Amino acid sequence: MSIRSPAQKTWRRRLGERGSVLIEFALVTPILVVLLMGILELGMAFFVMSLLEASVREASRYGITGRTEEGMSRADAILAIIEDRTIGLVDMTKIQVDTLVYPNFGAIGTGETYVDGNANGAYDDGETFTDSNSNGVRDADVGVPGVGGSGDIVLYRIRYNWELLTPFTAGFIGKDGKIPISASVAVRNEPWGTTP
Ligand SMILES: [Ca+2]
Ligand SMILES: [Ca+2]
């Protein structure tokens, strides 16, 4: 029979405590890492979102002036502004930039009016509609693609799927490893008239 001194007992107890601390640490560390990665991913997505919002505002500020750059269409100049303001973080081949012209601010996001013949609350083929943009089909959005002329109301809209940097966080953030981001701004073009 061995008799342990009080010092040995304290030592063993401390070893035991240290062991359980190590086990707790081993259990908690992966959770902390995932949590940290999640925070970093969300932070990055918010950063890209703020860049996209700033870029769409900047693009619209250029657009309302009606100014054209040498050898570049206004639409291309708008894309160039967005590319420049997103500091290379956005894949310009995957971004969706729409500029839509509306008859008034209230029309933004509205569809062409129709008579709901079968009263199902939705437009169905064959129901009568007002073809306000004269393209022969009923549109769910009355906006006409384009950057607009003098005094026109234009909606600038960006849609982008930000890809997560760490695929293992996809389990609890975003959709299929991506975070959909959209930014839009509606402006009225300055009345630049026609050049004499
Ligand atoms: Ca209907
Ligand atoms: Ca139409």
| 138 Cα: distance to centroid of ligand 1 (angstroms) | 12
Q: Identify whether 55 is part of a domain.
A: yes
What confidence category does residue 46 fall into, taking pLDDT thresholds of 50, 70 and 90? very high
Over residues 50-77, the pLDDT tens digits come to 999 999 999 999 999 998 888 999 999 9
Q: Identify whether 119 is part of a domain.
A: no
What is the domain extent for residue 83?
Answer: 10-108+143-188
Q: Identify whether 59 is part of a domain.
A: yes
For residues 60 and 156, give the distance between their C-alpha atoms in angstroms, rounded to a whole number. 7
Q: Among all ligands shown, which has an atom nearest to the Cα of 130?
A: 2
CA angle 160, 91, 181 (to 5 degrees): 15
| 132 Cα: distance to centroid of ligand 2 (angstroms) | 6
For residues 24 and 78, give the distance between their C-alpha atoms in angstroms, rounded to a whole number. 54
| 128 Cα: distance to centroid of ligand 1 (angstroms) | 10
| 152 Cα: distance to centroid of ligand 2 (angstroms) | 18
The whole-number pLDDT of residue 196 equals 43
Average pLDDT over the chain, rounded to an integer: 91
Q: Identify whether 172 is part of a domain.
A: yes
Q: Please, how many CA atoms are within 13 Å of residue 10, restricted to the half-sphere of its CB?
A: 3
Q: Identify whether 113 is part of a domain.
A: no
Q: Among all ligands shown, which has an atom nearest to the Cα of 133?
A: 2
Q: What is the pTM of this model?
A: 0.80
Over residues 94-114, the pLDDT tens digits come to 999 999 999 999 999 899 999
Q: In sequence order, what are the residues at sequence separation of 6 or more whose Cβ sits closer than 8 angstroms to the Cβ of residue 82?
A: 52, 55, 56, 58, 59, 90, 92, 95, 97, 158
Q: Identify whether 136 is part of a domain.
A: no
